[in-house]
Structure 1
Amino acid sequence: MGAMTETDPRAAGVCPERLARIAPWMDRLVAEGRLAGLSVTMQRRGQTVFARACGQADRDRGTPFTLDTVTRIYSMTKPLTSVAVMQLYEQGLFQLDDPVARFLPEFAEMRVAVGGNRAKIETEPARRAITVRDLLTHTAGLTYGFMEATLVDAAYREKGIDFLAREGTLAEMTARTAAMPLLAQPGSAWNYSVATDVLGHLVAVLSGRPFADYLREEVIAPLGMADTDFHVRPDLMPRFCACYIYDRERKLRRYDDSVETAYAQPPAIASGGGGLVSTAGDYHRFCRMILNGGEIDGRRLLGRKTVSLMLANHLGGDLASMGTPRFAETSYTGIGFGLGFSVMLDPAAAQIVGSPGEVAWGGLASTAFWIDPSEDLAVVLMTQLIPSSALPIRKELRVLTYAALVD
């Protein structure tokens, strides 16, 4: 999708003077060397009221960061995968409380870690089966190897459980995951995990099509997300950006090149949890579909009641009440989780401006989005800095954007 065009913000109930605070904030981030480049885009009441990019997509090559720069969106892939899952739900192929083992038998008779050491993890039987909803809400007891906090995390690393790996298959990686002990009893705790990658394999099994094909044909293409895929097409490579990390002196250092990159080729495994690249304009298409209750430009991807179900909190309380989360692309207090998104429950408890019912998520490289149905608002932040916890830019941007709403 091409560059987004701004309209008069006043027509959408947004104050131009307050909105103008975002640009100098962006410029400072680049001038101070905290980010190489970024874009911020904001839509309200179906109109683009702010669309700006600054800085560089590749500092070594002097490539500017633009509104149509192609970025690695990592975990912002998860909501699209969740939409694919719920499309199959609408076709009557499963129920949310169905055991996953009904479709993926490798998840039968799971065991849960209760102690031990690196040489031998002590386990007990799972008290109940993992359900599809457990996977959608990260309450299945799965984890990520990069957490480096528990024996199960270490076991994931030792067994090479990485859905962004450049070899193997989605089915093989899912089977490897199912062979691991669970971190917690199913449904008992919230733990960010490879669950959405497993859901990608579930989509493949239920649809009878490779997951990447299904997502492209049934979600990405109908949404009109022309620049979104699991790799960067040759014609899009000039718009692809480099990715950065901080060195020990907090200076930006290149993590992945914009040209010499694995993203130039299709991956062995299509990661439903973190494999996509996209643009600001493309991701706004997804946000607009959610705001419209499952439809965009006359094309319906989901029923409005299904979207409402996805946007509801499916936890017993907030993330903080579901054990002790070790990592998330959001804060824990006052934030719940739906079917593929975090859900704002209480802005005061979360200590950030926002609206109850607003959904959001982010990616490893500091990208983020949020969708606020009560305000008919969507904001997308694109940049490329790993990890996403390196800067508080998401919170800062939330304050800047919400402060501009006047009607």
Structure 2
Amino acid sequence: MTRLLERYQIPGASLAVSKDGRLLLARGYGWADAEAGEPVRPDSLFRIGSLTKPITAVAVLHLGEQLVRQGRFPNLEAFLKAKVYGLLALEPYGGKLGDPRIESITVRDLLQHSAGWNRNVAGDPMFRPTLTYVARSLGMGEAMPVQPLIEYMLSRKLSFTPGTFSAYSNLGYAVLGQLIEYLSAQSYAAYLKGMLGQMGIHHITVGHTRLQDRLPGEVKYYDFPQAPLVQSVLDGSLVPRPYGEFYLEAHAANGGLVASAPELVKFVAVLEGHRPEASPISLEARKIMLERPALPQYNSSKVYYALGWSVRPKENGLMWSHDGALAGTRTLLLRLPDDTVIAALFNSRPWNDWSFIADLKNSLLNAAQQVTRWPNYDCF
């Protein structure tokens, strides 16, 4: 971890490691706030970017099983096949769907990124420059709530037919956040708080855009050296990118959470039934969550995106993971086939990002493989 901070000029990081549900290591490295001389603590909070998505996915499955118990769906599979547009009280901008195929998007499509939105073709409306275009079209500022943004995208054409292809989509997970709110009659943050509280997790929550609004125990975020300032989405003033290039509150369900490394590994440990707290989803739902999607591109691929997780089958089981990235943030949550779980969080995103994330993954895997005997204590 120290080598990675030095090589990629990152101020601070946090690392947590668990084995068979026992927390074996939780440590902070470097600076949470370099100017104030505040070190990273083992339980420091970090923005986790797209590592939010597997947490949202579990919340959706948890909600689905609740609705089954209430008799609103016959089983979880029926919930996953349900057409999302018919479940939501959303009106397309201008009053008309931009593509009739939108009506066929299912809950499963959103979870596995097969809903028809492709940011490589049509841009990502959650981020600039596409966000700027959407905001101007709506006559709104870029710091807009997520609902009008989604309603605008419902008035546009899809990039492909839902259920035929997987293309990573922040917008799809933003829609899942709206689905949770509408079907649970709670805010996304409140629903998540209830589910996570039952798991013994109390500090994973939605973050805020501005530096002055950071949460108690949250680190400060740094752009890479010599990175340019940008105009804030909030007021147009010049700010560092982590504090104004995007409106974090609108990203709640797709990339807006903050968390500590120990609570992220606990999330996986409880999910797998290794802790005394009850898992939020059943064994059947967890199996469905990790299944290979029935999409042609995954027929013979070594890695696939399931319901909220990137999954790589290995000889001794499944390795599943998710990473996250925003200006000022880089994160990774990694579950190995032997029930080792590793969370690594950083308060800067290097300019050579893909080199860094590859280096991080390889370093953590190599370190885990070198362990010959795991301790028996539990720091949870």
CA distance in 2, matches of 1:358, 1:143: 26
- CA contact under 8 A between 2:206 and 2:249: conserved in structure 1? no
Alignment of 1:3-402 (within 5 A): 26-32=1-7, 34-90=9-65, 91-92=67-68, 93=72, 95-104=79-88, 106=91, 126=101, 129-144=104-119, 149-153=120-124, 157-160=132-135, 167-193=143-169, 194-217=171-194, 219-231=195-207, 237=215, 239-247=217-225, 255=240, 269=250, 271-292=252-273, 296-316=275-295, 334-345=302-313, 356-364=317-325, 365-372=329-336, 374-386=337-349, 388-389=353-354, 391=356, 392-402=358-368
- CA contact under 8 A between 2:21 and 2:270: conserved in structure 1? no
- CA contact under 8 A between 1:371 and 1:379: conserved in structure 2? yes
Shift of 1:212: 1.8
The equivalent residue for 2:231 is none
CA distance in 1, matches of 2:96, 2:282: 34
- CA contact under 8 A between 2:15 and 2:25: conserved in structure 1? yes
Could you say if the C-alpha distance between residues 111 and 187 of structure 1 is closer, same or farther in structure 2, counting changes exceeding 3 Å? farther
CA distance in 2, matches of 1:28, 1:61: 23
Could you say if the C-alpha distance between residues 339 and 35 of structure 1 is closer, same or farther in structure 2, counting changes exceeding 3 Å? same
SS at match of 2:17: strand
The equivalent residue for 1:3 is none
- CA contact under 8 A between 1:110 and 1:182: conserved in structure 2? no
- CA contact under 8 A between 1:37 and 1:55: conserved in structure 2? yes
Could you say if the C-alpha distance between residues 110 and 400 of structure 1 is closer, same or farther in structure 2, counting changes exceeding 3 Å? farther
- CA contact under 8 A between 2:32 and 2:220: conserved in structure 1? yes
CA distance in 2, matches of 1:300, 1:44: 17
CA distance in 2, matches of 1:306, 1:315: 17
Shift of 1:85: 0.9
**Cα deviations across residues 164-202 of structure 1 (Å, max 9, x unaligned)?**
x98443432321232222122212222111211100100
- CA contact under 8 A between 2:32 and 2:219: conserved in structure 1? yes
Identity %: 24
Residue correspondences, number: 332
CA distance in 1, matches of 2:28, 2:48: 17
- CA contact under 8 A between 2:292 and 2:298: conserved in structure 1? no
The runs of 5 or more residues in structure 1 that have no matched partner are: 1-25, 113-124, 322-332, 348-354
SS at match of 2:252: coil
Report the AA paired with residue 206 of structure 1: L
The runs of 5 or more residues in structure 2 that have no matched partner are: 74-78, 229-238, 374-380
**Cα deviations across residues 27-63 of structure 1 (Å, max 9, x unaligned)?**
2223345321222221112223333322112222221
SS at match of 1:375: coil
Shift of 1:317: 5.7
Report the AA paired with residue 59 of structure 1: A
Could you say if the C-alpha distance between residues 307 and 393 of structure 1 is closer, same or farther in structure 2, counting changes exceeding 3 Å? same
CA distance in 2, matches of 1:230, 1:300: 22
CA distance in 1, matches of 2:82, 2:177: 16
- CA contact under 8 A between 1:43 and 1:377: conserved in structure 2? yes
CA RMSD of aligned residues (A): 3.4
Bigger relative CO (Cα 8 Å, ≥ 6 apart): 2
Shift of 1:71: 0.4
**Cα deviations across residues 353-404 of structure 1 (Å, max 9, x unaligned)?**
xx642211011122110123x4122111111222653513332234323422
Report the AA paired with residue 142 of structure 1: W
**Cα deviations across residues 304-344 of structure 1 (Å, max 9, x unaligned)?**
111111122224366697xxxxxxxxxxx521121111111
CA distance in 2, matches of 1:31, 1:394: 13
SS at match of 1:67: coil
CA distance in 1, matches of 2:102, 2:152: 21
Report the AA paired with residue 286 of structure 1: F
SS at match of 1:79: helix
**Cα deviations across residues 195-250 of structure 1 (Å, max 9, x unaligned)?**
11100100111112222211112x22222222221137x99845221222324599
Report the AA paired with residue 66 of structure 1: R
CA distance in 2, matches of 1:168, 1:183: 24
Scaled by the length of structure 1, the TM-score of the pair is 0.71
Greater helix percent: which structure? 2
- CA contact under 8 A between 2:85 and 2:103: conserved in structure 1? no
